[in-house]
Amino acid sequence: MIDTPVWHPFTQHGLGEPIPEIVRAEGAALYTTEGQRIIDGISSWWVNTHGHCHPRISAAIAQQAGQLDQMIFAGWTHGPAQDLATGLRAIMPPDLTRVFFSDSGSTAVEVALKMALGYWRSRKGGARHRIVVMEHSYHGDTIGAMSVGARGVFNQAYEPLLFDTTTVPFPAAGCEQATLDALEQACSDAAAFIVEPLILGAGGMLTYSPCILAEMRAICARHGVLFIADEVMTGWGRTGTLLACEQAKVSPDILCLSKGLTGGSVPLAVTMATEPVYQAHYSQDRADMFFHSSSYTANPLACAAANANLAIWAEEPVMQRIATLAQKQQAFVVSLQDVPNVENARRCGTIAAFDISVPSGQGGYMAGLAPALLAYYRSCGLLLRPLGNTVYAMPPYCIDADDLAALHEGMVQSVSAIG
């Protein structure tokens, strides 16, 4: 039965699960063709920050669309990209002096890895190429990004193409020293360490402390190993601060940003780098240049949307909304304490998560209860997408008290409804 040629991502079409159609979005809500209002509990897969169709972002895109839509970015430039690079330099850690554009989180990571190898190629001590990664991490779905992410059912088929990395254990509470020791050891011949700061998203909303992030950064610095912060999910306020790195008072050598960069409206990514990383590619020899581009690099419409996002951050009480949301998420997490079958209730900034207890060996991404949970949430008008048996809420910062309460209620009810 073929009713649509559309092949959806991370979807098993063979199960015949319904795929509702959305026609419109506003604030924290999506509306189906039938007119059902859906609360967007996961910011449309972690991208949306200020709510859907924010008037300033939509207007900026429309205005730019009438002026300059798209142009080559090799050897040519345009105002929206210049403004955005200048704007990012002003609010990101001061050591990150250079801004390289691409169009998704995965490509921002690929660019970061290529920059790191380019940096080491130019070093007198000799080239290095080994990348150190953290257990359970996720950095995207392209071959390089998968290579530095956790291996599992979602990349088993591609395993022969993935390159070798060194994995340090996740710094679970009480076991942090093992992570630091492993990193110390791995740094002896590594080019770079790539990490999701404070919270591992796709790995199951696993949190660790800012102190550990700071210690990992210090180890890399001591060994001259490049520290790559993948803030594709954690950036733009999600963890309570503009960058998660801020909470550990660390500045990476390379920073990946995407998702909330345009407020979650259109695709865009940047990889920011320190002067030494840039200078490693700077010479009078064309062979030393950074060999990377994609057709839509620094697309003007996307840059205009990102500039509007920066203006919203500068002029609207975004941090206040984040603080309010974080507080309510914390109250929710506390309220989960005595709920049967709820484990490991946790929060990082605006993100609240818990695990539904399952018999041992039946957890993980493919946990059997995921399809039932999805169906339950659809029936209550909630957009939630558990990671295996991990249920989490990561709404846009504009979500109001009623919608947030409905979201929390649905999450709690789902545990007994499905269990």
Ligand X SMILES: *Cc1c(COP(=O)(O)O)cnc(C)c1O
Q: Please name the residues in contact with 183: beta carbons below 8 A apart, sequence gap of 6 or more.
A: 132, 168, 193, 216, 219, 220
Among 93, 197, 201, 263, binds ligand X (CB under 6 A): 201
Q: Least CB distance from residue 46 to ligand X, whole Å?
A: 6
Q: How far apart are CA 386 and CA 408, in angstroms?
A: 14
Whose Cβ is closer to ligand X: residue 151's or residue 223's?
151
Whose Cβ is closer to ligand X: residue 136's or residue 139's?
139
User: For residue 169, what is the DSSP state?
Assistant: P
Q: Least CB distance from residue 286 to ligand X, whole Å?
A: 30
- Contact between 386 and ligand X by CB under 6 A: the answer reads no
User: For residue 241, what is the DSSP state?
Assistant: S
The residue range among 62-70, 115-123, 136-144, 278-286 that interacts with ligand X, by the rule CB under 6 A, is 136-144
Whose Cβ is closer to ligand X: residue 138's or residue 193's?
138
Answer left, alpha or beta for residue 358, where phi above 0 means left and psi between -120 and 50 means alpha.
Answer: beta
- Contact between 233 and ligand X by CB under 6 A: the answer reads yes
Whose Cβ is closer to ligand X: residue 111's or residue 398's?
111
Whose Cβ is closer to ligand X: residue 42's or residue 342's?
42
SS3 69: coil
Whose Cβ is closer to ligand X: residue 121's or residue 151's?
151
Among 138, 208, 236, 354, binds ligand X (CB under 6 A): 138
User: For residue 164, what is the DSSP state?
Assistant: P
Largest Cα span, the chain: 66
Q: How far apart are CA 414 and CA 373, in angstroms?
A: 7
Q: Least CB distance from residue 233 to ligand X, whole Å?
A: 3
Whose Cβ is closer to ligand X: residue 201's or residue 395's?
201
Name the residue among 357, 359, 390, 351 with its Cα closest to residue 373.
Answer: 390
Q: Please name the residues in contact with 295: beta carbons below 8 A apart, sequence gap of 6 or more.
A: none
Q: Least CB distance from residue 269 to ligand X, whole Å?
A: 7
Contacts with ligand X by CB under 6 A: the residue count is 13
Q: Least CB distance from residue 36 to ligand X, whole Å?
A: 27
- Contact between 192 and ligand X by CB under 6 A: the answer reads no
Whose Cβ is closer to ligand X: residue 81's or residue 229's?
229
Q: How far apart are CA 192 and CA 173, in angstroms?
A: 24
* Closest-approach residue to ligand X (CB): 105
Task: Tell which positions 102-121 bind ligand X, by CB under 6 A.
Answer: 104-106, 109
- Contact between 232 and ligand X by CB under 6 A: the answer reads yes
Q: Least CB distance from residue 114 to ligand X, whole Å?
A: 15
Do strands 382-383 and 269-274 pair parallel, antiparallel, or not at all (unpaired)? unpaired
- Contact between 262 and ligand X by CB under 6 A: the answer reads no
Q: How far apart are CA 40 and CA 20, in angstroms?
A: 14
> Which residue has 């730019």 as its token pair?
64
- Contact between 140 and ligand X by CB under 6 A: the answer reads yes
Question: In the structure encoding, which two tokens stand for residue 158, read together?
Answer: 């591609």
SS3 352: strand
Task: Tell which positions 205-224 bind ligand X, by CB under 6 A.
Answer: none
Q: How far apart are CA 74 and CA 267, in angstroms?
A: 19
Q: Using CB under 6 A as the criterion, which residues of the chain lie in contact with ligand X when the complex forms?
A: 104-106, 109, 138-140, 196, 201, 230, 232-233, 258
